[in-house]
Amino acid sequence: MTQASTVHVHPPKVEYFDVAAQTNTDPKGFVRPVEIYREEPWGVYMGRHSDHVSFHYLESWILPELSLRASKLHYNPGIEKWQDVYVDVGAFTWESPTLIKGVDHYLDLLVRTGRDVRLVDVDELMAAHSAGLLDSAHCQTAIENATVAVDGIAANGYNFEDWLATLGMTPTWR
């Protein structure tokens, strides 16, 4: 029998992507300059430098129709890269013609291209629901969106980009 880990319960993380201002406001309220935003009919690409201890550059595709944000992290020397694509499940909505609001729904997917996809942080979703921070409808939607993504990625050889191509989306990275 394994000992259950204690999950830190926190409200859903909220982030803003301001295409006009070329900024990204992280969940802690830090406003980060964005090097590039690129808009497509199906999503928005963001590339920016990072002062994170593990990575120095972050690329993301915000995919509102799929309720996903897919990211590639450019790691610092000596940091082991476990996944090729990190996918956040959440609600990504246009608040104005140039501003996207992202609300994280706790679940994440770790994609190792050609190998596997792992669903993580189910415990965080359940803890948030138990604490009344995310209602049943949002939890169900998060699980359904994650499941669609896992199925699509697995059906396309564990390749995130190949799955998106079947949906008419062609993400390009730096």
Q: Who wins on pLDDT, 7 or 44?
A: 44
Summarised one tens digit per residue, pLDDT across range 3-30 is 456 788 999 999 999 999 999 999 999 9
Beta bridge partners of 46: 37, 60
Instruction: Look at residue 8 in the predicted model and tell me its pLDDT.
Output: 85
Q: What angle do CA 139, 63, 25 make, to 5 degrees?
A: 85
The answer to the question of residue 22 being in a domain is: yes
The answer to the question of residue 3 being in a domain is: no
Phi, psi of 23 (to 5 degrees): -130, 160
pTM: 0.94
Instruction: Look at residue 6 in the predicted model and tell me its pLDDT.
Output: 78
Summarised one tens digit per residue, pLDDT across range 78-119 is 999 889 999 999 999 999 999 999 999 999 999 999 999 999
The answer to the question of residue 6 being in a domain is: no
Helix (H, G, I), strand (E, B) or coil at 140: helix
Summarised one tens digit per residue, pLDDT across range 119-151 is 999 999 999 999 999 999 999 999 999 999 999
Count of domains in the chain?
1
The answer to the question of residue 7 being in a domain is: no
Q: What is the residue range of 99's domain?
A: 14-166
Q: At what angle do helices 122-130 and 136-155 cross, to 10 degrees?
A: 170
Half-sphere exposure of 48 (CA within 13 A, CB side): 20
How many Å apart are CA 100 and CA 55, to the nearest integer? 24
The answer to the question of residue 132 being in a domain is: yes
The answer to the question of residue 9 being in a domain is: no
Residue 2 has pLDDT above 50, yes or no: no
Task: List the CATH number of the domain containing 57.
Answer: 2.40.380.10
Instruction: Look at residue 4 in the predicted model and tell me its pLDDT.
Output: 53
The answer to the question of residue 19 being in a domain is: yes
Instruction: Look at residue 1 in the predicted model and tell me its pLDDT.
Output: 42
Residue 164 has pLDDT above 80, yes or no: yes
The answer to the question of residue 18 being in a domain is: yes
